[in-house]
Every structure is written in structure tokens, then in C-alpha cells.
Structure 1
């Protein structure tokens, strides 16, 4: 995708607007803190909704409080663990972001990483018979999961669209992912019992769903969250954010102490530029062969005595995965020029 380039005047105008907004927000926070009688105890919580400067923070008791965020602490996102204090108006101020274990981000128009969600432990990649799945996109998601250090799960949805023969061919096409250790699940929302395996994988985890448009993400969210409207109402009542709770990244409670982050930002999620070593590590089946090529800087293309090409010829690495690796490598190198 071609990056949008802003003129110096546009950048200056945007910076001026942002500075004004920051000044107004800082004034609101100072006023809120000045109304506190005595020093409130610091509390820990999780950001479950962020809309602009407004945060919904869930405490250890499960109660939701509408908070603002101090300007000098960075930009909290959905899933962040934070330190916050109550104010006299039954709201709160976030004073610190606790260290993130993982963060999902995407490049902004300037090529800088823009965090979307934090502290994930599961990345669920949705595919379906229609629209036609993109192996390249799947591999981008898998590289992102490996780079973050979270478990990736591939869920093939809408399997009811296929007859017996087509279903077998579809499953065979993606079977390789299971052989290299990724959970590969087959589901249809018309048959609820096919979601049992997915629900087991999400139990006690903080998960996010990613995938192409049209793979049934919204319908799957509704199936996993039968009380979603109740949760939205609870968030809206506690924060006053109203309809914004459905247009912003939101962390919903799943059964069995799990959480599901539903974020509009993942619709256009892509990996940003990665160092070659990070990219190689993102293809887990390449790892045993890294460092065994004749040349230390081998690109696994046309070089002689390439250990990875030898593994492909032996049927140990799928050639489609190697092709996607080389494509991603070329893209990341081009992005840096």
C-alpha cells in the first residue's frame, strides 16, 4: 500500500491541533485532581475501552470507572494494565502504564508503530472458503504472533459452505500449518459444537481475532459473547461513552476468566518493517536451518549450498512458505529505502 505523504505545513498544522488538545486535557486532569480531598490510594486496573482521551478502566473487583490519562505517561491502549486514582467526581485519572508483556501494533502513515492492543496471549487468525484465503496474509499474521511471543491459532470458519470433496481439499491445503505446530481448527457457526475447541484455547487467555473482511469475524464475536450487548450497556453506563463503546477497541469478558479484544484497527493490520533475523525467526520451520547455509548473509534465494533450499527439496519446508518469506523480506527492505 502506498504511504500517505504529508507536507511540512500539514504536519505543522496537525502538531498545533494536537498541542491544543493536550493542553485542554491537561487542564481537565489538573482540575479533577485538585478536587480530591487528601491523596487517594493508587489502584491497579485494565483498560477495557479507549476512545480518544477517554478510558474505561476495570478494577480488580470488576467495576468500571471512566478515566482520563496523564499526558506524560504515553498512550494507553485496550488491554493495558495501569495505575489510576479516583477523583471526587466518581471518575479517575490514569497515572502510569504498567510494563506490557506483549503489544500488537501496525504502521501509521509515517511508518511508525501504532499500538492497537496490549498484553495479548492469543492471536486467532480467521480464514474461510470465501473470500479466497491469502496464504501470504496468514503468514504475515503468524510472523507478528511469533515476534510478539503469543500463541497463534488458525480457525477456518464457514466450513458449511463446502461439500465433502471440497472440504477435504480445503483442509489438505492448510494442513501444513498443523504439522509445524499451529493449532488448526475447523468451524461453522451453524454447528455450535464446532466452536468447543476454540473456546478451550481461549479459556483464561486474552485474545484478539484477525482476518480478511468477510470471514465472519463479527458473527464469531457474537457467538463467543452471547452477553455482548449487556457488557456494552454496562460499559456505556459506567463511562458515558455511549455508542463509542462499539466503535473503539473494547476488551470483553469471556467465560472461564478469558478476555476478547475486539478492535476495528485489526481490519487493516499488517506487519511493519522487520529485521531479517526477526523475520526468519517468525517462520518457525526455518529455525533449525538458520546458520547452516554456506554464506552467513544467505537470502535463501539463488545462493549455492543453502540449507533452507535443501530442506525444501527434501519436503521439510513448504515452498509456499519460503516464497512468502522472500516476499516479506523484499517488502521490509523496500520500506526502509
Structure 2
């Protein structure tokens, strides 16, 4: 539908609302009176995502299931982004307070994936919470090992939570963490993200699929981003396609800064173009040798830089 159909004489006064879902040139919004309305989007609105706070006007005479038009978007406090080969950096959701990074012991507990998420969170300025799911599958020895690795992140000031939807461990604490915040879960396929969402939102009817016993891999289950209200009073945005944040759009220096324990050493190396590897006079390497920086995190940092170089090469490659 064109903007011509939305003349001023058919529109009421401006009102405030929040975008709860976006469908092409239309969006579902929720008003301050908790009405859910589907609206057209003005062509002047260049970007609109789930979580955006908007100004809209109702149609005095609606056209089909469209109840009004979104006129403007308030400035975002935060925005969740991911790089896209075709569109550059793409905004996925807006006004997020905290990102719950879901890992699991099945298919595999991978600290490097956690570090990638943390780089993205530090870059976007959104608080990350590390959520390790399926801990009921761990024996005591394995749990001790995982807990030891997670201590690296606790010592850096990151919040860590161990949960199991089967045993119920950690679920009450999880619900408390979500209270009065705009939240989003991120995680690779098979880590139990959808099951966790169903646990905190039992009426959301989000489909789940078990990890394949043959491949150990999960499958995508969500198709459209949507904002849900939590019983605790907070909100949860369930978004498709967020498994791993590509980082190839970031400068190397920015990634270095996003490893928060590196910051006090940045700029102090002997050479300005220090690669923080085998360079003489590298303060970060010295900090690793002295136990001030985790060797696991240091190795993860260099693996991320390698993958970024591969990503940039892919971005430059011609598309057929």
C-alpha cells in the first residue's frame, strides 16, 4: 500500500508504541494501552526493527487489517547488529538491555564461541550474560572442568549462569535476571535456546526440536522476530538466524579492545603495529606469560582474527 492511502485527514493524533514484529512494509506494534495493531510504515522511516519505540497515527477508516501508519522512530538506546555480505551491518533488534549467550555441553561446550559473542556485545555496548544449558548431562568431573573454564569469565566480571530445563536448576535465577529488562537469547543451533524461551514464556508456543542423535546438530525453529512480555514484567525478543555473530566488519584494533582484559596493555607495546603474537616487547604476550591474561582467551583472540580475515575475503569475493 502506498503512502497516498494515508492522507492526514484520515489519520488521528500521534501516539507512542513499541514494535513487536516487522513484516516487510508492515509492522505489529503495541500501544501504551497494550493494544496490538498492524501498521503501514512511512517510506521516510529508513530502518525499523523489533524493539523500536515509534510514533504512529491511527487511521480513522482502516484499510483491511492495517490500523494506521508509523510516522517516526525514536533514537535507539542500543541496537543488536550483525554483518551481512549484501547489506553491510544489519540491525536485528533495538533497545536491548542484555544478551543471554546460550552455550551447552551438547553438541559441544566451546569457549571460542563465547568469546565471539563477547566481542560482539562489547562492541555494541550491550550487557552479556553467559548461560550454560543442559548441565544435567554433565558428570561431576566434567562439571568441575567447565566451571573452571567459566571462572575465567567470572574473574573478568561477566555474569555466568548454569541451567537445566530438565532438572530445573538455575531456572528461577534466570527468570529473576530477565525481570524488567529487554532481553534476547542468542546461541548456535542445538544449545536449547528455544526450549529455554518456552520455559520462561510457557504460552509463547515457540517450536522446539531436539538435537539430532546422528549429527549432534540442531535446526533453526524460529522464523520471525517477535517481542514477548515476560510474566516478571520484562520483555524477550525471540529472533531467527542469530547463532553466531560475524565479526569481519570490525577493525582488528576494535576486536583487541573488545577483549576487556587487554585494554590496560593496549598502546604500550614496543612497536605500534604489534600483532600481539611473537612480536618483541608485546605487553599482551608478556601478560599471558605472567598469568595476567588467560592463555585460552589469548588463543581465542587470534583464532577470531584468522576467521575475520577469511570473512573479509568472502565478503570481497564476487557474488554469482
> Would the TM-score normalized by the shorter structure come out above 0.5?
yes
Deviation by residue 1:164-208 (Cα, 9 ceiling, x = unmatched): 222112222322111111111111112335212222221111111
Where does residue 86 of structure 1 map in the other structure?
Answer: 58
Say if 2:121 is the partner of 1:149.
no
Where does residue 71 of structure 1 map in the other structure?
Answer: 43
> Does the Cα contact within 8 Å between 2:11 and 2:68 map onto a contact in 1?
no
Say if 2:228 is the partner of 1:256.
no
> Does the Cα contact within 8 Å between 1:128 and 1:159 map onto a contact in 2?
yes
Structure having the larger proportion of residues in helix: 1
Structure having the larger proportion of residues in strand: 2
| Distance in 2 (alpha carbons) for counterparts of 1:193 and 1:169 | 18
Where does residue 213 of structure 2 map in the other structure?
Answer: none
Give the TM-score taking structure 1 as reference length.
Answer: 0.82
> Does the Cα contact within 8 Å between 1:106 and 1:272 map onto a contact in 2?
no
> Does the Cα contact within 8 Å between 2:103 and 2:132 map onto a contact in 1?
yes
Which sits farther off after the overlay, 65-74 or 103-112?
Answer: 103-112
Give the TM-score taking structure 2 as reference length.
Answer: 0.86
Deviation by residue 1:10-60 (Cα, 9 ceiling, x = unmatched): xxxxxxxxxxxxxxx4x2x321x23x6465211111110112222111111
Query: What does 1:88-107 correspond to in 2, within 5 Å?
Result: 88-89=61-62, 91-107=67-83
Where does residue 4 of structure 2 map in the other structure?
Answer: 30
Give 1:52's match in structure 2, choosing from 15, 24, 27: 24
The verdict on how the C-alpha distance between 1:40 and 1:163 changes in structure 2, with shifts beyond 3 A counting, is same
Which sits farther off after the overlay, 105-114 or 282-291?
Answer: 105-114
| Distance in 2 (alpha carbons) for counterparts of 1:149 and 1:126 | 18
Query: What does 1:240-279 correspond to in 2, within 5 Å?
Result: 247-267=223-243, 269-279=245-255
Where does residue 119 of structure 1 map in the other structure?
Answer: 95
Deviation by residue 1:105-162 (Cα, 9 ceiling, x = unmatched): 2222326112111111111111111111222221111011111111101111111011
> Does the Cα contact within 8 Å between 1:157 and 1:187 map onto a contact in 2?
yes
Where does residue 13 of structure 1 map in the other structure?
Answer: none
- What's the offset of the Cα at 1:262? 0.4
| Distance in 1 (alpha carbons) for counterparts of 2:39 and 2:87 | 30
Give the CA RMSD over aligned residues.
Answer: 2.0
Deviation by residue 1:244-303 (Cα, 9 ceiling, x = unmatched): xx6310010013321101011213543342122321221111111112211222220111
Give the count of matched residue pairs. 294
Query: What does 1:281-296 correspond to in 2, within 5 Å?
Result: 281-296=257-272
Which sits farther off after the overlay, 269-278 or 144-153?
Answer: 269-278
> Does the Cα contact within 8 Å between 2:247 and 2:308 map onto a contact in 1?
no
Deviation by residue 1:184-234 (Cα, 9 ceiling, x = unmatched): 11111123352122222211111111112111111100001022249xxxx
> Does the Cα contact within 8 Å between 1:42 and 1:83 map onto a contact in 2?
yes
Where does residue 242 of structure 1 map in the other structure?
Answer: none
SS at match of 1:327: helix
What runs of 5+ residues in structure 2 fail to find an aligned partner?
Answer: 207-221
What runs of 5+ residues in structure 1 fail to find an aligned partner?
Answer: 1-24, 231-245
| Distance in 1 (alpha carbons) for counterparts of 2:97 and 2:256 | 21
Which sits farther off after the overlay, 270-279 or 284-293?
Answer: 270-279
